[in-house]
Amino acid sequence: MLTDKWFIHGLVSFLLAHIIYIFAFWYGYSFSIAMDLLIVGCALLFLALIVFYILFQSVKQVGRWNLVVAVAMYMTIISTMLGLAIHTSEKILIITATLFFISDAVLAIYKF
C-alpha cells in the first residue's frame, strides 16, 4: 500500500468520483420516492452506521475529529451512490456500486 500521505488524496478523489456517479444516476434515470427506495435507503443507512460505529474510535485516534467528519461524509456519499445504483435496477450498476462499497469498507477497516 502507498504511504499514508496519499490516503487523503485518494479519499478526496474517490469522493468526487462518487459524487459524479450520483449526478449521473440522478440525471440519467427517472426516480420516484417509493417505498422500495425508502427501504433500500434505510438498509444502507443502517449498514453505514454499523461500519462507522466499528471504525469510530480508531478514526478518531488517527485523525481526530477532522478525519471522523471526512469519513462520515465519505460513507454518506458512497451509500447514496449505492442506493441510487440499486434503484436503477441495472445489474451491472448494482454489482459495480456494491463492489465499490465493499472494497471501501474493507479498506477502511484495514486502514483504521
For the segment 7-24, what is each residue's pLDDT rounded down to a tens digit? 778 878 888 999 999 999
Band (pLDDT 50/70/90 cuts) for residue 1 is very low
* 51: pLDDT strictly greater than 50: yes
Neighbours of 94 (CB within 10 A): 15
> Positive or negative CA dihedral for 8, 14, 18, 21?
positive
Structural domain span for residue 66: 4-111
* Residue ranges in 1-112 assigned as alpha helix (H): 7-28, 35-88, 91-111
Cell representation of residue 83: 442506493
* 2: pLDDT strictly greater than 60: no
> Positive or negative CA dihedral for 102, 94, 9, 68?
negative
Assign residue 64 a region (left: φ > 0; alpha: ψ between -120 and 50; beta: otherwise).
Answer: left
Number of domains in the chain: 1
Give the residue-averaged pLDDT of 82-109.
88
